[in-house]
Structure 1
């Protein structure tokens, strides 16, 4: 339908590693978009209006006018990024043509992040920063598994001619990983142990799309935060309170 106004994107997000995946991708693609900040500490993501967009009550989420002129609702960061490249990345700025070797290799790393790095590092964050008591088994289990996955990435990047995960340019595989790797220290991981991954993180960090997208909807301050132990502990305590409250609320449902 040629008269359908597109893109008509609204991004519902918060300052998290998953949230900034989408804003970085949108900036890399040069797409216009509106932003609705979701205050996780106030459980806005659990309000009925938001659950109509994402029934799982998590960020990020995105709406757009689809090709049929009707609104489409998208959730799960990997699904959102695949939608964006299939609908709008006609020049393959952050993807590769479907059916090519690079397309399938890109998907390998997309699922590696979605099923591995994200969940494992998320649990490492939880047991390191947010659990009401320190449980060594939980800390060791998830920090060590995240370190193992970082090792896989580091080894792979050691052979990359372009410095990116796949092919000769940045792709959604890189974008999906970057916010998590930038938060390595929050999970108790020393990025210096992984020199190729560290060089990759810095390479992506210097991109204009990353610089613009990482500050949506608030300033991305993890690098400064990790240098200030007192502020870091205060931030963790504040997050711990609402995370524990949210877990208690979810348990009653």
Structure 2
């Protein structure tokens, strides 16, 4: 059987790690019904993420990205890790084990924190120097 989607990623990138964690949670929530998917580890040192075929998937040339394989060969590309998580929840979390009822206050609050994590905390953490000691 063909995979439901293909994840293009690299295990050492923060957003790649985020996607691996989310997919682990999704698999744990749906151990018998989670569809199979394919992971393609990008060869960053070869600038594979800048090649024309990949730029058609993610015009930003960054990882991760996702192709949702649809029936009839129609594929849908999704980039930006938070958008990918929202897409996966919409399509692969039918019992709402990892999400909330659409248009509910709970979903709104969840999306607020999710987008804050993507654009607020995530950006700050990516710019912080590694192994920094602070005085408490």
TM (normalized to structure 1)? 0.46
1:8 counterpart (4, 18, 43)? 4
Alignment of 1:52-67 (within 5 A): 52-66=56-70
Change (3 A) 1:45 1:53: same
Residue 79 (structure 2) aligns with: 75
- Which structure shows the higher helix fraction? 1
Provide the residue aligned with 2:26 in structure 1.
29
Query: Equivalences for 1:242-253 in 2 at 5 Å?
Result: none
C-alpha separation between the residues in 2 aligned to 1:42 and 1:52? 18
CA contact (8 A) 1:38 1:45 kept: yes
Q: Distance in 2 between matches of 1:46 and 1:98?
A: 36
* Structure 1 unaligned regions, length at least 5: 129-185, 194-253
Where do 5+ consecutive residues of structure 2 fail to align? 28-33
1:118 is the counterpart of 2:122 = yes
Partner Cα distance (2:77, 2:7) in 1: 10
The answer as to whether partners of 2:3 and 2:38 remain within 8 angstroms in 1 is no
- Structure 1 position 117, deviation (Å): 1.2
2:132 to 174, 188, 193: 188
Larger relative strand fraction: 2
1:68/1:120 Cα in 2 relative to 1: closer, same or farther (>3 Å)? farther
Contact in 2 for aligned 1:11/1:63 (Cα 8 Å): yes
Tell me which structure has the larger Cα radius of gyration: 1
* Residue aligned with 2:40, SS: strand
**Which residue is equivalent to 2:99?**
95
Alignment pair present for 1:109 and 2:113: yes
Q: CA offset at residue 7 of structure 1?
A: 5.6
Aligned with 2:14: secondary structure?
A: coil
Paired residues in the alignment total: 127
